[in-house]
Amino acid sequence: MKEKLVSKFEELYGNNGKINTYFAPGRVNLIGEHTDYNGGHVFPCALTMGTYAVARKREDNKLRFYSINFEKLGVLESNIDELKYNKNEDWINYPKGMIWSMKDEGYKINTGFDILFYGTIPNGAGLSSSASIEVLTGFVIKDLFDLDIDMTKLALLGQKAENKYVGVNCGIMDQFAIANGKKNYAIFLDTSDLKYEYAPVELDGIKVVIMNTNKKRGLGDSKYNERRSECEEALSELKEKLKINSLGELTEQEFEENKYLIKSEIRQKRAKHAVYENQRTIKAVEALKNNDINLLGKLMIDSHNSLKDDYEVTGVELDTIVEESLKQEGTIGARMTGAGFGGCAVSLVKANKVDDFIKNVGENYKNKIGYEASFYAVEIGNGPIKI
Ligand code: GLA
Has residue 232 got a pLDDT over 80? yes
DSSP characters over 155-180? HHHHHHIIIIII-----SHHHHHHHT
> Is the per-residue pLDDT at 221 higher than 90?
no
Asked if residue 317 has its Cβ within 6 Å of ligand 1, the reply is no
Among 31, 35, 36, say which to mutate for ligand 1: greatest number of ligand atoms within 8 Å of CB.
36
* Ligand 1 pocket residue status of 127, Cβ below 6 Å: no
- How much is the average pLDDT of 264-290? 97
34 Cβ below 6 A of ligand 1:
yes
Distance from residue 32's CA to the centre of ligand 1 (Å): 10
Mean pLDDT of 157-165: 96
Provide, rounded to the nearest whole percent, the portion of the chain with pLDDT above 70: 98
Reported as a single tens digit per residue, the pLDDT across 188-216 is 999 999 999 999 998 889 999 999 999 97
Residue 14, pLDDT > 50, answer: yes
Q: Where do the domains of the chain lie, and which CATH numbers do they carry? A: 2-199 (3.30.230.10)
pLDDT of residue 239: 98
Query: DSSP labels for 285-338?
Result: HHHHHTT-HHHHHHHHHHHHHHHHHTS----HHHHHHHHHHHTSTTEEEEEE-S
Nearest CA to ligand 1 atom 9: 171
- Mean predicted lDDT score pLDDT of the chain: 95
Q: Is 174 in the pocket of ligand 1 (CB under 6 A)?
A: yes
Confidence check: pLDDT of 222 > 80: no
Vertex 226, ends 223 and 231: CA angle to 5°?
130
Are 202 and 174 a contacting pair, CB within 8 Å?
no
CA gap 155, 141 in Å, rounded: 13
Nearest protein CA to atom 8 of ligand 1, as residue: 170
* 130, 132, 173: residue to mutate for ligand 1 pocket, most atoms within 8 A of CB: 173
Q: Is the pLDDT of residue 117 over 50?
A: yes
Atom of ligand 1 nearest to the CA of 168: 8
Say whether pLDDT at 126 is over 90. Answer: no
**Mean of pLDDT values over 129-154:** 97
Q: Region 274-303: what's the mean pLDDT?
A: 97
Q: Which among 36, 114, 174, 190 is annotated as catalytic?
A: 174
Separation of CA 170 and ligand 1 centre (Å): 6
The pLDDT of residue 90:
82
Q: What does the pLDDT read at residue 124?
A: 77
Instruction: Count the neighbouring beta carbons within 10 Å of the beta carbon of residue 167.
Output: 14
Query: Using one digit for the tens of pLDDT, what is the confidence trace for 330-360?
Result: 999 999 999 999 999 999 999 999 999 999 9
Mean pLDDT of 242-268: 98
Q: Which atom of ligand 1 is nearest to the CA of 128?
A: 7
Ligand 1, closest atom to CA 37? 10
- Sequence-distant (6+) residues with CB within 8 A of 49 are 25, 26, 120, 121, 127, 376, 378, 381
Ligand 1 proximity of 190 Cβ (cutoff 6 Å): no
More confident residue, 338 or 222: 338
- 148 classed as catalytic: no
Residue 218: its pLDDT value, please? 54
Cβ contact 92:38 at 8 Å: no
Query: Residue 344: CB within 6 Å of ligand 1?
Result: no
- Taken in order 302, 307, 309, 314, the sign of the CA dihedral is negative
Give Rg (Cα) of the chain.
21
**33 Cβ closer than 6 Å to some ligand 1 atom:** yes
| Residue 122 reports pLDDT greater than 90 | no
Answer yes or no: is pLDDT of 241 > 50.
yes
> In the prediction, which pLDDT does 220 show?
47
